[in-house]
Amino acid sequence: MIFTTFWFLVFMFGFLGLYYLAGYFAVKIRLRMLLIAVASVAFYHHFTGDAGILLIVTLGCLTYFAGRIKNSILINLVIFCVALSLVFYKYTLFIFSSLAELFPALSSIPASEWSPVVAPLAISFFVFEFIHYLVDVKDGNKPISSPLEFLIFASFFPTLVAGPIKRFEHFIPSLKHGVANAKLISLDTQVGFLRVIVGFCKKFVSDMLTLYVAGTVPIFASYALIDRWLIFAAIAFKIYLDFSAYSDMAIGFSRMMGVKIQENFNWPYLARNIKEFWRRWHISLSSWIRDYLYIKMGGNRVSPLRHGFNLILVFVICGLWHGAAWNYVLWGAYHGVGLVFHQYFETFILNLKGKSFVLDFKQRNRKFSSFLGAINWGVSWVITMVFVWAGWLLFFYPVDQSISMFKALFHV
């Protein structure tokens, strides 16, 4: 994890020292903007090298100038180029290796001839931010006029590696407020520092769970039933704690600079259905998928069959966004199918609640209805958690191993 490296801690607190010191100069706003820009470029270059810098600068320049020109055809072309760069760097090897399994003749071609060596760091995050920017500008939002502000939006180092995925309409005003008002002794600094500490604590617990899971999963079936369920829960909590730790640290470091970044997790393991889970889990990604894929494909305004297909498709894309492998595709499809079933079940329940005999029963048996409501809450939560946590097995392990582990939870 980059945020826990010695290099980053020295870098971050050295940067914050200069950032707070700059607040005593008359030109503090400009000076702090330059500090953030230089620090962001230095941070990214340190971890990705010249090749990574070249890509983000090239795509950033294309995005900035397309937004300034505001020509729909040009914006569409740049969106295509930005998306294509993600496909090329992250999915070329996956696509060709999958094709090689279908067409063995392709396997004779060395992978180095048609595949990049490695995807640049954080490409999934900055590509999604560039696409969001271009789509929103095309839809009528005012573009970022300052090249310096756009550079910071594109490369802001606390969020660059693992999000949250920023929206420029919220980020730029918050950035301006931060560079104008940040102080060493302030509520923002205190809250931000505490948030960073929470992130470090989460990461520590996550690492302990990772060691526990690594030692127990290979002999999962040999454990007693209760221990299997504990391992099952450990897998679920290690990914939540690990991912939310990144977000906590990113939000905390940003807050220490006076910049407020949107929340990314809202107690997702309290969700009572799969739809609510995705409103609480990786909020910046799920809202991006909703706004720039799901709604653009028709949302809930299309036929039920088309709606179900769209849900599954956007979650397959969500799965692929996490990684270029078939288990991520299956994990995304799994959640898409779950959302489709939830949608149909929710419609059925809403129709049922409107029936006269149901309303009459609730009026006559209010206490019993309240009791049933509490039972429904608990059962809904258990079903949702088993569904979500079972999905993490698909996320982490091969399909046959995932199925075998899930069966073992029920002594099957």
Distance between CA atoms of 375 and 384, rounded to whole angstroms?
A: 14
Cα separation, 47 vs 163, in Å, equals 16
Give domain limits for the chain.
Answer: 2-182, 185-265, 270-412
Residue 368: the pLDDT is: 47
Predicted local distance difference test score (pLDDT) of residue 114: 62
Q: Which pLDDT value is given to residue 246? A: 94
> Which residues are part of the catalytic machinery?
322
Range 259-264, long-range pairs (CB < 8 A, 24+ positions): 259/171, 259/174, 259/175, 259/177, 259/178, 260/174, 260/178, 261/158, 261/159, 261/164, 261/166, 261/171, 261/174, 262/164, 262/166, 262/167, 262/170, 263/164, 264/163, 264/164
Q: What is the mean pLDDT of the chain?
A: 88
Residues of the chain with pLDDT under 50: 352, 354-355, 357-359, 361, 368
pLDDT value at position 313? 95
pLDDT at residue 50 in the model: 77
pLDDT of residue 117: 61
Characterize 65-101 residue by residue with b for buried, 16 or more Cβ atoms within 10 angstroms of its Cβ, and e for exposed.
ebbeeeeeebbeebbeebeebbeebbbbbbebebeee
pTM over 0.85: yes
∠ CA 53-58-63 to the nearest 5 degrees? 125
Phi, psi of 114 (to 5 degrees): -130, 5
**What's the pLDDT tens digit per position in 260-272?**
999 999 999 999 9
Tokens, residue 295: 């709604």
Model pLDDT, residue 357? 44
Long-range contacts of 358-364 (CB under 8 A, 24+ apart): none
